[in-house]
Each structure stands twice: as C-alpha cells, then as structure tokens.
C-alpha cells in the first residue's frame, strides 16, 4: 500500500535545491531528501498535520511525524552553536498540530550574527518508504504554498537479524553533541551494512539508521553511547562507528538512566548557586517530581468544562486565602499566580482541547506546558524562570481536579533540608516554616520566585546544583552553607559539632541584634551611619520599620509597572508613592525611577531586538527612550513629594548626557505642575563609566547610590543571571572595590553623600570595608538591618579604612572575603560567618 503526501512551505523565502546548501551533509542528501529555503520570514509553520518531536539538542530543529514519514526542519546552518538563543518554541514535544500551525519563532538577526547561514533544509526521511515526486525550487515561496509532494509506501516486514549481539561503548566527541551533522554521518556510515543497530543513551534508545531518532536522543558532547549490533555485519558496524567516535575507556561510565538514581555515589561536598543566604544543619527530605497520571479521554465537553471551571475556582480561592497570610513578598507572588490562573489564552487553549474530546486534566496540562515551553524558549532569564510558575499552577489545578487539596504539603521532620529537582513557590509556601531549615535544588535560578520567597522567609537556599543532589538518600545528615554556596553531605562528627555551634551562635546573635534594632548605628568613634531599607511596595514598609529601618534608600517602582497590560497613570503612581510616604511617617523615601529592560522586561513596553539586552536599553535609557512614560512618573513623584521627604534616584546612568536629559525633563515637569518642592536628585552608580566620571557627575546631583549587583556584572564581564558564573560574580572583588573608592573620593570633593543600595550593603562581611571606602549610608534587605546596625556599632572608621586599604591590594574576591572573615573574627564581631 502507498499513499500521497503533500508538504506545504513552512517558511517565507526563496526555495533552493539541497545541492546549494552550504553544508555537505545536507547538500549531499545524507540527512534526507528535500528542499532548502533561504528565509525572509521569522516564523516556522507546520507543513502538514502531524506530531511534533522537539530535538533536545536545541530549538533550531523540529521534526514533524506524518503518516509513514518524518519531516525534519533545520533552521539555519551551524545554528546548534547558538544554543536556544534567538529561538522561541511555540509548541510542546508530542503535540498534534494542524497544517499551518505556528511552530517556532526565530531571529534572522541573531542567526546572521552567530551562525554560518540562515538557509533552512526541509527534509523528508521515511520510516516506511518515501520518494519525492514533485518539488519547488528556484523561486520565492510563501507559507502554505505547496513545496513538495511525495509517495509513501509501507515497507514489507523484514526478518529479524540473527546471530550474537555485539556491544561497544563510544564517546560522542562531537561539538554541541549529536545534532544533525554527526547523526547523519552515523546513519550514512551504516547504510551499506547488514545489521540491526541500536544506540542507547541516558535510558533512551534509537535506531542508529535514523538521523531524526539519533537527534531525538539529546546526546551532549562527551556523553557515552552504548551501541548494540546484531547481524552479519555487526563487527563492520563497530569498525565504521570507531572511525567516527572514540571508544569509551573502561573507566568512563555511562550517565545514569534515571536522573535521581539513588545508587549514584554522592561526593562529600556539592557546590551550588546561592539563591538565599544563610546556614543550616539538618536532614535530607526528598520531594519526588513524579507526573500525575491523567487520562486523555473526557466524559463529554460539558462535564469536562464544568470540572475545569470548578477546579480553577477552587485553586483561585485557595490562592486568595494564602495570599492574605503570606506577607508582602509571598502575597505579590501569589497575586501574580492569580493573574496567570485567569490568563485567557491558557484557559482558552484548555477549553479548545476539551471541546475536541479530551479530559479536563489532560487538556489543562497540554495548554499549560505549551505556554511554559514558549517561556522556557525565551532569551531572557527572568521570563524563562516564569515557566516554573506555570508548572506550579498545573500541579495545583490537577490536584484540584483529582479532588485533593491543591496546597497540601508533606509532613516534615525538624530541621528538614528539602531536596528536589525544582521546588515550586506554592510548594515552599505549603511547607511548615517551623521545620524547614533549607532548600537544595538541582535546577532553578537565583532570580526565580521560589528564590525570592526563600530569602523573604529566611530559608537558606541553593539552586542549579545538578543531578548529584538528587542522589542524596532521604534522612542523610546535611550542612547547607548558602553563604559559601555548598552542601556538605553526611558530615563527620566534628563538622556537625561545628555547624551546630554556628547555628546556635547565629540564633543568639539574632536575639541580641533585634533588642537594639531601633537604636542608631554609631561607630565606636562616633560616626553616624544611616541604615535604610530597600522596598518593593507599600506592603513591605511595616516589617522594615519593625526591623529598625531609618527610611527607604531604594523604592523599586517596577512593582507598579510589571505583571500588567498597560502602564500605571499619574494618579495611580501618585497614590502609590503617597502610601509609602504615609507609612514611613516622616522618614526619607528614595524613589528609583523605572528600571526596565535587561532582566526586567515589560509586556506593554516592547523594546527593539537586542543581541545583548544587558548592554541595551536599560534603566534611565529606557525612560529617555519613552519620554511620555518618564514624564508621567516624574510628575507623580513631584506631586507625592508635597507630602513627605522624598528623593529621586536615576538608574543605570552611564554618562553626563543621561543625567542632563533627565534633569531637563524633571525641570519641565516642575514647570507644568507649578510651584512646589523639588526633591533631591541622585544617580545610581552601576557602570564603570559612571564611576570613572563620578567627579563630573557628582557636580550635577545631590547624592550618589551604588548598585553593586550591576556594577559587579559590568566590571567583571559576567552575566549576573548566568548560573555557571553566579558563584564567581562577587562585588567584593578588588576591581569593584576600586570603583567604589573612586566614587566616594569624587563625591567627597563635591560634598556629596554616597550610599550603597545593592546586595553588598546587606552582606555583613562587606560592611566594614564599605565604611572604610567612604560609604556613609547603607540600604539593606529589611530582615538584615538589626545585624548590620550591630556590626557598625562594633567598629571604628580608622579600623575600617585600614581594612579597606588592605582589601584593595588583594587579587580576588575570595582573598578579600578571607581577609574580612579573619578581621571580624579577631574582633569578635561576626565569628559565626564561615
């Protein structure tokens, strides 16, 4: 039996014969027969109806399974080296799509800058027999236009090969793993040989003669492949593969088939990325990440729609109750979950699947994971981490559909250090706060919602630890040191004793600090250091004042602009700023203007495409790019300033021109509103250029505030959202300290005060060094204010200046931290710091 197959063009562009593809594997047809398209459009559509297979090697390649054949669409040549940069997946693995469904968005600009060519092969490989009977080349094609026609014939069954099974192991020594080119070379090498060949990797297997199947294994560079060959040419198969890959030595072990295999040996110390600082002693509690089984079949569209509506309402009610009792940070995150729960596209996708005959749970999971896949495919790290929020909601809705409490948490022992592939925000909120001691996650990022929650609840947390942490057996004694970014597994008695003493010392110190939190921070030689707080909204003011904050040194106004479909108007902003001023009761408020762009995108403020958003429209640059929004914010701040002491802080100022333009707009807003107080104007020192020009800039402002997070990122050329670099990105690096010293020196010459509002102000090891460099105001995380104040009271400026001088002469941040640790320990200031 045979059938006809018609494939439509998945792209707009110019159709070329494969021979013109600038890659011999595709040009010679080694990966399959077909047509290439030099694209002019940036969306890939389904050329036929079928099932999607996402290639694990990267989002640049997709396979569509149709009747008797597979269609491989490989966007660009050598695009595997881009990773997922420039590609946005619009469908999920295993999805059944109709012809013309958008599958993938991509950036021609990113491809042009980072790959050899944008030419896209569209290839037909058959699991049965397939032969192209008609193809279009040599002209422009549009999406949906007929591109190829083929006949697909089922292959006659063949007898299984006989003979012994020959097995060998090879190392996938291909750059970027087993992507299209090496997969095609392997399949081609086996064509003339008579044997059944199967490749095994990480618990999966594939027919070695199928390029698509090999790519779908998702094998990375350096992984071990197990190969089994049966038939007359089995030995020749191994010889052919040995010409493409080196054999694995007996010492090289294949990766475990199951990610959380408990039999894997766990090293005594596991590194991780700090998501929330702290120190804990406890025992391992492992949270399983098993998928809930759901049936694709429904009981009728009406019944399934009603069931989904009831489950959504149940989750909404539970989220609302929890929001009211979760504090400011938890409440904001749950508010975002409530908005996501009501997202019309998510609900509509689920309802459409229900109308097609699927069950409510299956439909919601399918819709949620499709949207999560889109988010996970974005370049922006912050938005990628929002995919975890969708997974969280999926877990809650499916629990509600099963008649269970969507927020039920497991029972924990005392001192539980919770281990998981990923802990979701609602899961963390459901855990008994009196029993949880810490969190260790195999994946996740330092800016995720669960990281923010952990910090707000004073739960030490490490993320991005890799598979090794999943091999820890439940009940294993652990020491979690999130200050140093490491987890000690099954420590000996001496290490446990030291950890217990450290925990007790911290607890006693915290009680003592809290008793004096409302006293001023005076150094032993009588200098007053202002200790203020960083705030995200009015809801956080009460807790900050209770902790001893003397005002707000940084109000992040992004809370008004994020997670919404349109910008806040002047009235809303004025009311919000007045609410913060009212709660501060005469204490100073520093309002940072909108710091959007980079890792803080805003849906209604689409920025131009940027190859490197961290170096593009950020902070005040974004505001100056959209003066209409900036003018509204400045007017709102000026109106609020009539009701209390208020300062304006401009983020990401890089040069005097930025400041001059902002000053002109502020003056214009003052003229428009009429007579009234003009708040002090300051700039954030976050770029090396700003620090280097501090003397010039200080002449035009009333104060300066150093943002150590971004200043470190730009000084050390390390992306602060990159998990692999997070442990090395430390603002105590001497190069960063030198720029801080340059800023304070320039400010002193102009009689301007300098504050630090970045993370370094909340780092107890750093505070004496900052004082020694000339900083006289610290804006901290509220929970750490009592400790910072107590530390200031234990030092003299003369001592701090000597410490800072020594720190500037060291080679790296690790040496500076060691120096600061010894210095404080000798004075009995902070002996429990590791």
For tokens 């005097």, what's the residue?
A: 656
Q: CA-to-CA distance for 533 and 554, rounded, in angstroms?
A: 7
Q: What pLDDT shows up at residue 588?
A: 96
63 has a pLDDT exceeding 70: yes
Nearest C-alpha neighbor of 641 from the set 578, 716, 724: 578
What average pLDDT does the chain have? 81
Q: Which residues pair with 703 in a beta bridge?
A: 682, 753
Cβ density class 60-78: b for 16+ within 10 Å, e for less: bbbbbbbebbbbbbbbbbb
8 A C-beta contact, residue 488 and residue 308:
no
What stretches of 736-804 adopt beta strand conformation (E)? 753-756, 777-780
Separation in Å, CA 751 to CA 693, 704, 715: 16, 11, 26
Nearest C-alpha neighbor of 303 from the set 257, 354, 243, 377: 354
| Helix, coil or strand: residue 550 | coil
Region 516-531: mean pLDDT is: 95
**Stronger pLDDT, 598 or 430, i.e. the higher one:** 430
Of residues 179, 449, 552, 733, which has the active-site annotation? Answer: 449
Q: Which domains does the chain have, with CATH numbers?
A: 2-153 (2.70.70.10), 165-242 (3.30.1340.10), 269-287+410-491 (3.50.30.10), 301-380 (no CATH), 509-826 (3.20.20.60)
Out of 174-178, 287-291, 519-523, 581-585, least confident range: 287-291
Q: Encode pLDDT of 577-626 as tens digits.
A: 999 999 999 999 999 998 875 545 555 565 555 555 566 667 788 888 88
Q: What pLDDT shows up at residue 797?
A: 95
Q: CA-to-CA distance for 70 and 215, rounded, in angstroms?
A: 13
Whether residue 757 lies in the annotated active site = yes
What stretches of 547-630 adopt beta strand conformation (E)? 552-556, 589-592
Edge to edge, the sheet with strand 120-126 lists 96-97, 50-54, 61-66, 69-74, 120-126, 33-39, 13-17, 139-141
Q: CA-to-CA distance for 780 and 544, rounded, in angstroms?
A: 10
| Helix, coil or strand: residue 91 | coil
Whether residue 449 lies in the annotated active site = yes
Which element (helix H / strand E) includes 374? Answer: helix 360-376
Sign of the Cα pseudo-torsion (576, 580, 586, 592, in order): negative
The tokens of 680 are what?
Answer: 């002090």
Q: What pLDDT shows up at residue 758?
A: 80
| Helix, coil or strand: residue 318 | helix
**pLDDT tier, 726 (very low <50, low <70, confident <90, very high otherwise):** low
Q: Encode pLDDT of 729-753 as tens digits.
A: 788 999 999 999 999 999 999 999 9
Sign of the Cα pseudo-torsion (572, 575, 580, 583, in order): negative
Residues 6+ apart with CB under 8 A from 158: none
Q: What pLDDT shows up at residue 483?
A: 81
Edge to edge, the sheet with strand 279-286 lists 269-271, 486-489, 477-481, 279-286, 416-420, 436-441, 461-463, 273-276
Q: What pLDDT shows up at residue 637?
A: 96
8 A C-beta contact, residue 261 and residue 466:
no
Helices (H), 295-326: 301-323
In this prediction, what percent of the chain has a pLDDT beyond 90?
30
8 A C-beta contact, residue 366 and residue 353:
yes
**pLDDT tier, 443 (very low <50, low <70, confident <90, very high otherwise):** confident
Q: CA-to-CA distance for 371 and 730, rounded, in angstroms?
A: 35
Of residues 533, 552, 646, 757, which has the active-site annotation? Answer: 757
Sign of the Cα pseudo-torsion (15, 17, 19, 23, in order): positive
8 A C-beta contact, residue 185 and residue 209:
no
Q: Pairing between strand 13-17 and 102-106?
A: unpaired
């Amino acid at each position: 039996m045979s059938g006809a197959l018609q494939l439509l063009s998945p792209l707009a562009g110019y159709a070329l014969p494969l021979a013109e593809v600038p890659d011999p594997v595709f040009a010679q047809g080694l990966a399959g027969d077909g047509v290439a398209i030099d694209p002019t459009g940036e969306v890939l559509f389904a050329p036929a109806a079928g099932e999607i297979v996402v290639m694990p090697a990267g989002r640049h390649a997709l396979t569509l399974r149709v009747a008797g054949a597979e269609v491989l669409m490989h966007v660009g040549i050598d695009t595997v080296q881009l990773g997922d940069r420039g590609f946005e997946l619009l469908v999920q693995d295993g999805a059944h799509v109709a012809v013309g469904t958008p599958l993938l968005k991509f950036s021609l600009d990113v491809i042009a800058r980072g790959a050899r060519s944008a030419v896209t092969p569209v290839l037909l490989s058959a699991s049965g027999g397939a032969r192209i009977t008609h193809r279009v080349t040599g002209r422009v094609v549009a999406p949906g236009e007929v591109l190829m026609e083929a006949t697909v014939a089922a292959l006659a069954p063949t007898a299984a090969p006989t003979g012994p099974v020959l097995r060998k192991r090879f190392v996938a020594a291909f750059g970027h793993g087993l992507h299209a080119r090496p997969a095609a070379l392997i399949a081609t090498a086996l064509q003339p040989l008579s044997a059944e060949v199967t490749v095994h990797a990480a618990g999966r297997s594939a027919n070695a003669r199928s390029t698509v199947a090999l790519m779908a294994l998702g094998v990375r560079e350096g992984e071990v492949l197990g190969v089994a060959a049966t038939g007359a040419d089995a030995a020749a198969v191994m010889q052919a593969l040995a010409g493409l890959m080196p054999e694995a030595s007996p010492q090289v072990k294949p990766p475990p088939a199951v990610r959380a295999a408990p039999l894997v040996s766990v090293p005594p110390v596991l590194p991780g990325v700090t998501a929330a600082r702290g120190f804990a002693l406890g025992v391992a509690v492992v949270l399983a990440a098993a998928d809930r089984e759901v049936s694709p079949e429904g009981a009728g569209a009406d019944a399934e729609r009603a069931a989904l509506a009831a489950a959504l309402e149940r989750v909404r009610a539970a989220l609302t109750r929890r929001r009211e009792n979760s504090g400011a940070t938890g409440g904001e995150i749950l508010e975002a979950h409530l908005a996501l729960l009501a997202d019309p596209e998510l609900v509509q996708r689920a309802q459409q699947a229900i109308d097609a005959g699927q069950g409510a749970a299956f439909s919601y999971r399918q819709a949620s994971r499709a949207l999560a896949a889109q988010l996970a495919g974005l370049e922006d790290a912050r938005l990628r981490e929002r995919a975890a929020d969708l997974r969280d909601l999926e877990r809650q809705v499916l629990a509600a559909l099963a008649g269970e409490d969507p927020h039920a948490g497991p029972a924990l022992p005392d001192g539980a250090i919770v281990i998981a592939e990923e802990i979701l925000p609602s899961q963390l909120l459901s855990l008994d706060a009196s029993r949880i001691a810490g969190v260790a996650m195999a994946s996740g990022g330092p800016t995720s919602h669960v990281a923010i929650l952990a910090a707000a609840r004073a739960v030490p947390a490490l993320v991005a630890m890799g598979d090794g942490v999943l091999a820890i057996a439940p009940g294993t004694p652990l020491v979690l040191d999130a200050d140093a970014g490491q987890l000690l597994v099954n420590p000996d008695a001496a290490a446990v004793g030291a950890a217990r003493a450290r925990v007790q010392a911290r607890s006693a110190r915290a009680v003592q600090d809290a008793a004096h939190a409302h006293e001023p921070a005076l150094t032993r030689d009588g200098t007053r250091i202002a200790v203020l707080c960083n705030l995200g909204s009015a809801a956080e003011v009460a807790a900050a004042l209770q902790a001893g904050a003397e005002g707000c040194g940084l109000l992040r106004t992004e809370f008004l602009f994020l997670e919404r479909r349109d910008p806040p108007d002047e009235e809303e902003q004025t009311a919000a700023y007045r609410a913060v001023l009212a709660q501060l009761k005469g204490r100073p408020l520093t309002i940072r203007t909108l710091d959007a762009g980079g890792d803080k995108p805003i849906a209604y403020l689409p920025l131009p495409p940027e190859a490197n958003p961290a170096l593009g429209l950020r902070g005040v640059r974004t505001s100056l790019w959209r003066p209409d929004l900036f003018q509204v914010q400045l007017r709102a701040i000026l109106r609020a300033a009539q009701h209390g002491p208020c300062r304006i802080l401009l983020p990401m100022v890089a040069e005097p021109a930025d400041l001059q333009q902002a000053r002109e707009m502020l003056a214009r807003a003052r003229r428009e509103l009429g007579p009234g107080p003009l708040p002090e104007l300051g700039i954030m020192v976050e770029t090396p250029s700003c620090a280097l020009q501090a003397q010039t800039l200080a002449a035009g402002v009333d104060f300066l505030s150093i943002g150590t997070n971004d200043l470190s990122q730009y000084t050390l050329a390390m992306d602060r959202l990159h998990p692999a670099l997070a442990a090395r990105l430390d603002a105590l690096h001497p190069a960063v300290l030198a720029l801080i010293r340059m800023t304070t020196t320039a400010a002193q010459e102009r009689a301007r005060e300098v504050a630090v509002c970045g993370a370094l102000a909340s780092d107890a090891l750093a505070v004496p060094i900052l004082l020694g460099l000339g900083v006289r105001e610290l804006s901290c995380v509220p929970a750490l204010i009592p400790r910072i104040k107590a530390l200031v009271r234990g030092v003299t400026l003369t001592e701090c200046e000597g410490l800072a001088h020594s720190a500037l002469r060291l080679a790296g941040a690790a040496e500076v931290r060691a120096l600061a640790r010894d210095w404080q320990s000798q004075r009995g200031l902070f002996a429990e710091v590791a």
